[in-house]
Amino acid sequence: MKIYKKTIFSLLLAGLLCFSALAQSKAPKPSDWISIFNGKDLTGWDIKIAGYPLNENYQNTFVVEDGMLRVKYDGYKTFDGRYGHIYYNKPFSHYRIRFEYRFLGDQVPGGDSWNVRNSGIMLHSQPAWSLGKDQTFPVSLEMQLLGGLGGGERATGNLCSPGTIVDIGGTLADAHCINSTSKTYHGDQWVQAEAIVYGDSIVYHLIENDTVLTYTNTRVGGGFVSPGHDFKTGKFSAANAEDWMKLQNTPLKEGYIALQSESHAIDFRKIEVLPLKGCMDPKASNFKSYYQVPDKTVCVYR
């Protein structure tokens, strides 16, 4: 019995030591992160604003100032549904993206009431060039960013799903927007956000290093109508709606990263991506090279 206990203890100790060494040796170095915004100009980014051609930056909605990528409306008299996005021009499938954001001032006149201190970052988005001229949102997974309104609770790091569907807890989550468990951030303070994306398998949203939302089985879905149709149908307005309908329930494994302009000024900075080089991608050389920590899968980066 004593020998048996010693053997079990030795195995447990060896396992803990191996896990500790693995965690330490496989953790990404700061230099492994790639800055996708250079802090100087919009090189590497494409702009698409509803009603305007690709890369027409209406009234300088997207500008770079003081090392920040700023979404501004100084030249707008009214918003008038000019929803826009700025897209990094390289797609990703398995990665981490982290950044900081802050809301500023008041909403531009003409913006929808639900867009006060409301913006977002789109994950697995369709490319900028594929949107129709009048299309307001890309097919994507939106990590919704919300600012507090001076009182009450208003979570950030939520999920909205234009033209997409996901599962939460193994069950289809069919609401268009799903709240996270984050606290509320009032005023113009900077907030740190991160998304960890493993292809179509699982996505984590983090706010100030806390995991606030997890969802799985990302795919195209929800129904589609052509731009300009009534949203009362519950379907998503998209260019080439018939083509998207044929892709219903198709796994959404990769796509582009885009930042929103939704009528309220917002600043972004320190926008960095850590490519995970496979991990849960069967085609990658380091498929299944990962280790588990509580409530999270951590890819081996090498």
> Which residues on adjacent β-strands are paired with residue 191?
101
Contact 119, 101 (CB under 8 A): yes
| Domains of the chain, earliest start first | 31-299 (2.60.120.560)
Q: What does the CA dihedral 98, 99, 100, 105 come to, rounded to 10 degrees?
A: -130
Of 160, 133, 164, the closest CA to residue 240 belongs to 133
Number of C-beta neighbours around residue 46 at 10 A: 17
pLDDT, one tens digit per residue, over 260-269 is: 999 999 999 9
Question: Tell me: the pLDDT tens digits for 72-131?
Answer: 999 999 999 999 999 999 999 999 999 999 999 999 999 999 999 999 999 999 999 999
- pLDDT band at 234; cut points 50, 70, 90: confident
pTM of the model: 0.84
C-alpha–C-alpha distance, residues 92 and 94, integer Å: 6
Read off the pLDDT band of 235 (50, 70, 90).
confident
pLDDT over 80 at 198, yes or no:
yes
Alpha-carbon gap, residue 103 to 235, rounded angstroms: 29
- Range in 119-128, 146-155, 271-280 with the lowest mean pLDDT: 271-280
Q: Match 């109508």 to its residue by tokens.
A: 225
How high is the pLDDT of residue 293?
39
> What type of residue sits at position 176?
H
Mean pLDDT (whole number) for 272-284: 68
pLDDT at 228 (0 to 100): 66
Greater model confidence, 255 or 15: 255
Whole-number pLDDT of residue 288? 47
The percent of residues above 90 in pLDDT, for the chain, comes to 75
Q: CB–CB of 291/22 below 8 Å?
A: yes
Model confidence at 279: pLDDT above 60: no
Dihedral over Cα of 106, 111, 113, 119: its sign:
negative
Q: Looking up tokens 């709240």, which residue turns up?
A: 179
Predicted confidence (pLDDT) at residue 284 exceeds the cutoff of 60: no
